[in-house]
Amino acid sequence: MSQQRTAIVTGAARGIGAAVAKRLASDGHAVAVIDLDEAACAATVDAITAAGGKAVAIGADVSDEQAVAAAFERIVAELGAPTILVNNAGIIRDNMLFKMSVSDWDSVMGVHLRGAFLMARAAQQHMVEAKFGRIVNLSSTSALGNRGQANYSAAKAGMQGFTKTLAIELGKFGVTANAIAPGFIETEMTAETAARLGVDYEDFKKFSAQQIPVARVGQPEDIAATTSFLTSEESGFVSGQVIYVAGGPKD
């Protein structure tokens, strides 16, 4: 059994974040479940505590410096110094470039990049002190380019560069940083994409599965399993990597 640590998962009220939070709790860690709306985190926290784990719900806008500082104060006080961070919080504001507003651009950059920066900057001091840390940033196959997602694809590509730099700067302190780039994962976000395209979600999943070598769409638990490894003691020689969890090869 690995040592119990305090883990933070952002965007953990639902979807991939919720699955990751539950998995890290089942790995024996205490988990800070962060989302914009604290009440929305209740289901994730309840599932963790019902299974015998330890978790707290924290409402915070990760793109707000003061909100992040306040969240860390609570985490340290209620769960202990965090040494595992999963930057999963994300939003989509999809549109073709000629129709994309500045606020659509800024809000996506704010949550993904500014949010990951603020969370990582706050977490690293605890990790450096403990001489152990695991940072996992959620990227996406959209980082390779995706029609209608100039903002999201730029942010997710940015997450990869950010991750590699964290790996270089923090490695000597026992801290690793890696990115997971999911392909098609069955979540509310992909359901939103289908709705935007005017396609039935079941048809959308079926069509997507036909393009994927393993012949199925991904589940949040697929990402949670990869996160479990990357946050474990034994993953200490894996750092600065982008792992495409997409059912097949991506360039």
CATH number at residue 37: 3.40.50.720
Is the same domain home to 109 and 124? yes
> 193 and 146 in contact (C-beta within 8 Å)?
no
Among 7-16, 84-93, 192-201, 231-240, name the one with the lowest average pLDDT: 192-201
pTM for the whole structure: 0.97
Could you tell me the residue range of the domain that residue 210 belongs to? 187-217
Is the same domain home to 23 and 54? yes
| Mean pLDDT value across residues 166-183 | 98
pLDDT at position 2, please? 63
pLDDT at position 108, please? 98
Residue 1: pLDDT over 70: no
Residue 6: pLDDT over 60: yes
Is the same domain home to 203 and 173? no
Band (pLDDT 50/70/90 cuts) for residue 193 is confident
**Other C-beta atoms lying within 10 Å of the C-beta of residue 43:** 14
| Mean pLDDT value across residues 103-107 | 98
What tens digit of pLDDT does each residue of 118-147 get?
Answer: 999 999 999 999 999 999 999 999 999 999
Is the same domain home to 129 and 197? no
Residue 1 lies in a domain: no
3-state secondary structure 54-106: CEEEEECCCCCHHHHHHHHHHHHHHCCCEEEEEECCCCCCCECHHHCCHHHHH
First to last CA, the chain: 35
Among the listed residues 117, 152, 184, 244, the single catalytic one is 152
Is the same domain home to 38 and 161? yes
Q: What percent of the chain has pLDDT over 70?
A: 99
Total domains, the chain: 2
C-alpha to C-alpha distance for 93 and 80, rounded to whole angstroms: 35
Residue 12: pLDDT over 70: yes
> What's the whole-number average pLDDT of the chain?
97
Q: Is residue 244 annotated as part of the catalytic site, yes or no?
A: no
| Mean pLDDT value across residues 232-245 | 98
Helix intervals (H) in the chain: 15-26, 42-50, 65-78, 102-109, 115-130, 150-170, 188-197, 201-211, 220-230
> 36 and 61 in contact (C-beta within 8 Å)?
yes
Tokens of 46: 């309840």
Is the same domain home to 140 and 204? no
> 249 and 195 in contact (C-beta within 8 Å)?
no
71 or 189: which leads in pLDDT:
71
Short-list 144, 108, 138, CA closest to 120 = 138
